[in-house]
Structures are given as C-alpha cells and as structure tokens.
Amino acid sequence: MKIRNHKLTVSYDGTLFKGWQIQANPATVQGHLERVLARCWGERITLHGSGRTDSGVHADAQIAHFKAAAKFKSLSALQAALNHHLPPQIRVTRAQYADDDFHARFSAKGKEYRYRICNHPFQDPFEINRSWHIPRPLNITEMKKAARLFVGEHDFASFTSNPGYARATTVRRVTHVSVSVNGPLITVSVRGAGFLYRMVRNIVGALVTVGLGRLTASETRQILNAKCRGVAPNTAPAHGLYLHKVFYKTAAQRTPSKQSQKLS
Amino acid sequence: MKIRNHKLTVSYDGTLFKGWQIQANPATVQGHLERVLARCWGERITLHGSGRTDSGVHADAQIAHFKAAAKFKSLSALQAALNHHLPPQIRVTRAQYADDDFHARFSAKGKEYRYRICNHPFQDPFEINRSWHIPRPLNITEMKKAARLFVGEHDFASFTSNPGYARATTVRRVTHVSVSVNGPLITVSVRGAGFLYRMVRNIVGALVTVGLGRLTASETRQILNAKCRGVAPNTAPAHGLYLHKVFYKTAAQRTPSKQSQKLS
C-alpha cells in the first residue's frame, strides 16, 4: 500500500493541555493526535509539528505531518474520524496530502504569532484564558514605537528564556511586528523566520512594560543591545499567545540541504 | 445612614453557573452576588435582577439593583470590591446610583437577547459553550424570511416551554428579530417588551430547523398560529444565548401603577 504524506492544520484552545509536545503525561496536543492516529491506523504513527507550543498557548493553525498508508476513502473522512475521537478543544481544520519531501518543521520558512491583550479595568468574563488582562491603560503610540525596534535581524538573547538546550545562535530575523487595537482588545502580531524559546512572550512583556510607561522605546533598544535576559522585563503569560500561521517554502525552495536549517 | 438604590450591570459566562436565580445550591449568579454583598455590608442584602437566565445562558449586560446604605467611598471602589470577591466568570461592568423607584425588573420596558450559532463543518475550539454548533450549512435567506414572522404582537404559546408557574397570557410583543452573518458565526437578535420562558431559544430552534430545510417559513407561521408547544421544533441549547441588553423606562414613564406589569 502506498505511503502518503499527510498534512494537518490543527486549531486548539491550549488551556487544558500541557503544550504541544508529547510527554509521559499524555495531556498534550501532539499526544492526543498520536493517540487518535494510532487508534485509526492500528499502529503507532509519528506526527511532526511545525514546532512546540508551551502549556496554555493556543493555535489558530498549527501544522503537522505524518506518513502512513491512505486508510480512509477521502481526506474529509480522515478529518471527520480524527475530530470524532479528539477532545473538542482540538480540531483538525484541514487535512491534505503533501509532497513526500514536505516536513512540517523543516519546510517552514516562517511563522506568525498573535498575542491578545484585554486592556480594560475589569476582565471580560469571555476573555478568561484567551488574553492577558491589563487593567491599567496602555500607551499604544509608545508600544508601536517600541514594536518597530524588533523588526530586522537582531541578536534576541535578551528576549529568550532559558531554553534548556544549547542553540547555535540567538540571532533571528523578525519581518513584522504590529500592535492593533479593537475596543479593549489589543493584538500584537509578530512574524519571523524563526523564534527562540519564549521570544514572542518576552517581546510582548517588554511592549506592555512600555505601554504602562515603565520603560521607554530607547531603553527597549538598550535591552535588545545588551543581549542579556536578566535586564529585560518579565515574560507575558502563555494564555494570550496564539500560533496564528506557519509559512512554507514552495516545492522548488525545498532542497535536502535546507533541511538542516533548524526552526524552533 | 441614607439608603441608596444601587444599579449594577453584570456580565457573565454562564457555563459554570446554575442560572441567575438564587437556589439552595449557591452556584448561581445571583447567589454569588448576594454572597459578596453580604460580605461587603456585613448583613444580608437582597438583589433584584431584570429577570432569570437559565443554567448555561450568558449575559453581556444583566441589570440588577439593591438598596443599602452607601458603604464605599465611591461607586468605582464598590465595583472593584465586588469584582475582587466574585469569581472571574462574573464581572460587575458598571455600578451606578439609581432613583429610589428604579426596579431592575419592573422598570424594564424591554430586552434584547442574542443567540450565537457556529455554522461550520467542525466546531471552532474557541466557541465551545459560547455558541450552538450546526455542522450542516444553513439557508440564511429562509431563516431571515421566517424571522420576520415573529415580529409584532403574537400569542407565543407554541414557543414557550413549560414555565412551572401560571401566567395570565402568552401574548407578547416582539419588536425586532434579525439574523446576521459574520464568517461562520450567525447571530440571531431578538428584542421585545417581554419574553415567555425559553421563548428566544424556541424561536431560534425553529429558525435553525428552517435553515436546515426541514421546515418552511409558511409552516413556521402555522406553528405560531397553532398556539401549541407540541407542534414546534426543539429548543435551542442554552449555551448559545446571551442576555444582551435591558431597556428601561425613563423616570417620567415609571409610575407606581406600572409596577404591576410583569416582565419575565
């Protein structure tokens, strides 16, 4: 039977899960998906995600792939079967066949994260675990000014938390940072070629500190230049963060040599 | 000490509560509010809501009043104290002083409810307990046609569930019904001078049956004319319903004789 490469788009409310990556504790998103794949195929199937998300972090469109013989009569039948067995907090929003050399992690050329902040004296009951509640008013103009500092190729050592593993470099290219306002809801969007551990949450932590008037844009630049986590403001909480989109190379851009280029 | 009439605007995610009205089981919204008022004032205080909401039903802006001596140095201090002691799923979004004759229930001249439907093959993980998931496509044109039938003064006997108490009449005046679409989200808004028990959920149950092509607009009219609950479609689930707004008479419109006019 022909082995097909399956590409899944997955949305999840991360509140109840211990993040994406499979652990001894099965309450992870990858753990649930692999459990359901094993149930459908009758054998263990390894799922590869575009990257980890931390405990409590959400996804609008996480991407994952797995290789297996075509088992269902259609992709929509596969999608329906997976959703039937998954907890409702995890939904496969799209199932596709991908080229054999497509890899959810190594074929990615970038990602967009969104961070939601509820800026209102009292937290909206419908925003619990969905956004970071900041009761004091935020200065959006200053936040936008500071946001622009992060765009470009920088050493983000001041904006990564202890990763627990060695990495070659803390230089990353950020292509877009925006701060948009819709009533009490403030959304920070960050796009980049790759991200360090907790980089988006650390950037948002700094932007909110700027918005509260406790840090200036020029001090933010000094923190970036210091390349030292110890001088930077606190990390924003996990429950405001959403993996919004993963961008992929075209088939022509995917070559074996590129696969060694790591994305975290 | 001068007794003041306090008016509260309350938003709640009804998922965890056994509805609005106080019961032996304290896990109701009114129960939580009265517990916190008693804690702040050191004595039992009776809170009057604009009306009940069922278990699982939400509120954007429920209105309630209570009479008590002014205890806090400002209304914002009162609001902050209440929110401090309330579960985060219940928020006092506004605290005001009202005229002595203001009554959250008897001074109301109407209400607006909103009902959210998520019309998509797979339920959005972020819509669990926030909307009614309808996987099959809904015919919005037919739903809008049927919605118009409910506007005006009608005997809504076919659209009330067993109320558990006697009522003088099942005639009610509905001033507005609309069906609006925003991506997969369909919102039904219903405004009226008063509502029977489960009337909005029964209207939405009929509109969705129309949208699924299992009932025509003209059959919906026959069901309304039949004045018999047994011939009508099922009740829509509680978790899609939001008490959106309560409309009040002006001080000039509030006279003691009007207070006998009941709103449920």
What is the ipTM for the molecules in this complex? 0.89
In this structure, the answer to whether residues B85 and B145 fall within a common structural domain is no
Looking at the structure, do residues B90 and B139 belong to the same domain, yes or no?
no
Last residue of a domain, one of A53, A76, A106: A106
Q: Do A133 and A173 have their domain in common?
A: yes
In chain A, residues with a C-beta closer than 8 Å to the C-beta of B32 are none
Residue of B nearest to A93 (CA): B122
Strands A48-49 and B58-69: unpaired
To test the contact with chain B by mutation, choose from A29, A74, A126 the residue with the greatest count of B C-beta atoms within 10 A, namely A126
Same domain for A8 and A101: yes
User: What residues in chain B have their Cβ under 8 A from chain A's Cβ atoms?
Assistant: 11-13, 58, 79, 83, 88-93, 122-126, 128, 130
Classify residue A175: in a domain, yes or no: yes
Torsion sign (Cα): B63, B67, B73, B78? negative
What's the CA gap between B30 and A82, in Å, rounded?
41
What is the tally of structural domains in chain A? Answer: 2
Range of the domain at A65: 3-106
- Is the pLDDT score of B214 beyond 50? yes
Q: Are B207 and B147 in contact (CB under 8 A)?
A: yes
Partner-chain residue, chosen from A13, A83, A125, that has the shortest CB–CB distance to B91: A125
State pLDDT tens for residues B74-130: 999 999 999 999 999 999 999 999 999 999 999 999 999 999 999 999 999 999 999
Average pLDDT, stretch B145-164?
A: 90
Q: With respect to residue B251, please indicate whether it lies within any of the assigned structural domains.
A: no
**Could you identify the residue written with the tokens 């969104």?**
A114
B202 inside domain: yes
pLDDT of residue B255: 66
In a domain, A54, yes or no: yes
Judge if A214 and A123 occupy the same domain.
Answer: yes
Q: Which amino acids of A are annotated catalytic?
A: 54
What does DSSP assign to residue B189? E
Output the average pLDDT for chain A.
93
**Residue B83 domain flag:** yes
Residues A232 and A128 in one domain: yes
The answer to whether residues A67 and A115 belong to one domain is no
Q: What is the value of pTM for the model shown?
A: 0.90
Output the domain CATH number for residue B26: 3.30.70.580
**Same-domain pairing of B87 and B165:** no
User: Is position A259 within any domain?
Assistant: no
Domain end (from B106, B135, B156): B106
Segment among B6-10, B238-242, B246-250, B260-264 with least mean pLDDT? B260-264
Q: What is the mean pLDDT of residues A156-175?
A: 82
A10: closest chain B residue by CA:
B125
Catalytic choice (B13, B54, B101, B155): B54
Residue type, A191: R
Token pair for B154: 């009608």
The answer to whether B125 contacts A89, with C-beta atoms less than 8 Å apart, is: yes
A188 domain residue, yes or no:
yes
Q: How far is it between the farthest Cα atoms of chain B? A: 62
* Residues A90 and A15 placed together within one structural domain of the fold: yes
Q: How far apart are CA A121 and CA A118, in angstroms?
A: 9
pLDDT for B119-142, tens place per residue? 999 999 999 999 999 999 999 999
Assigned domain for A249 exists: no
At A140, which CATH number? 3.30.70.660
Do A128 and A160 sit in the same domain of this protein? yes
